[in-house]
């Protein structure tokens, strides 16, 4: 396992700081990489915090590899459970959020493709847990899915529907001008009416709860 000290001497640039983790861009074995480091939570008991971060780091590395069997994800180069870090391939490209907000011309075609890809994930029993256009990067080699920190395994229709509902709600808030076009094309690509109907059912339950 790669220890943090091995890449401390290399220039590292912070590219994202979230509630759960930091993303750093650096070099590893001569290749551009991203180091995902889970942040220590001081409000949690130290032993519990360590266990949570270690489990989430391990799970994300496993789920990235699992998902890679059916969709594009960054290659995992190293996992350090002591430092709670994952070193993975750096993806050169733009997020779909950026592209869509910039008036991307192939929005409809790409949305259909996303639907097909998420259907492949769900058929493999992979629930992403945080489906947003910020977690999809378009490179020269196609669309890649990132950030599997909340992912888990499930074949339940309800879990798949909740996954899609997260995506739908995000579209309504972030891409509201193009919501109908994107969601309509996405549904066409996903194509599973059982899961899509469950999305509507869950929405109705929440509305009248």
Give me the helix-helix angle, 179-190 and 107-123, nearest 10°. 40
159 is catalytic: no
Closest Cα partner for 32 from 3, 74, 66?
74
Judge whether 165 and 203 are in contact, CB under 8 Å: yes
- Catalytic residue (one of 49, 130, 178, 192): 130
**Please, which residues bridge with residue 136 across strands?**
145
Residue indicated by tokens 């639907």: 115
Q: Which residues are catalytic?
A: 130
């Amino acid at each position: 396992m790669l220890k943090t000290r091995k890449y401390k001497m290399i220039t590292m640039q912070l590219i994202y700081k979230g509630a759960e983790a930091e993303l750093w861009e650096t070099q590893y074995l001569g290749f551009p990489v991203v180091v995902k480091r889970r942040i220590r939570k001081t409000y949690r008991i130290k032993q519990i915090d360590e266990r949570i971060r270690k489990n989430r780091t391990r799970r994300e590395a496993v789920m990235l590899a699992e998902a890679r069997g059916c969709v594009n994800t960054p290659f995992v180069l190293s996992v350090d459970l002591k430092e709670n870090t994952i070193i993975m391939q750096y993806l050169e490209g733009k997020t779909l959020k950026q592209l869509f907000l910039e008036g991307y011309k192939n929005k409809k075609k790409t949305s259909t493709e996303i639907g097909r890809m998420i259907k492949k994930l769900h058929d493999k029993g992979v629930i992403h847990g945080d489906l947003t256009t910020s977690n999809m990067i378009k490179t020269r080699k196609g669309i890649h899915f990132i950030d599997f920190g909340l992912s888990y395994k499930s074949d339940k229709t309800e879990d798949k529907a909740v996954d899609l509902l997260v995506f739908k709600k995000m579209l309504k808030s972030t891409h509201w001008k193009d919501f109908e076009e994107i969601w309509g094309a996405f549904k066409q690509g996903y194509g599973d009416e059982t899961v899509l109907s469950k999305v509507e059912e869950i929405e109705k339950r929440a509305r009248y709860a």
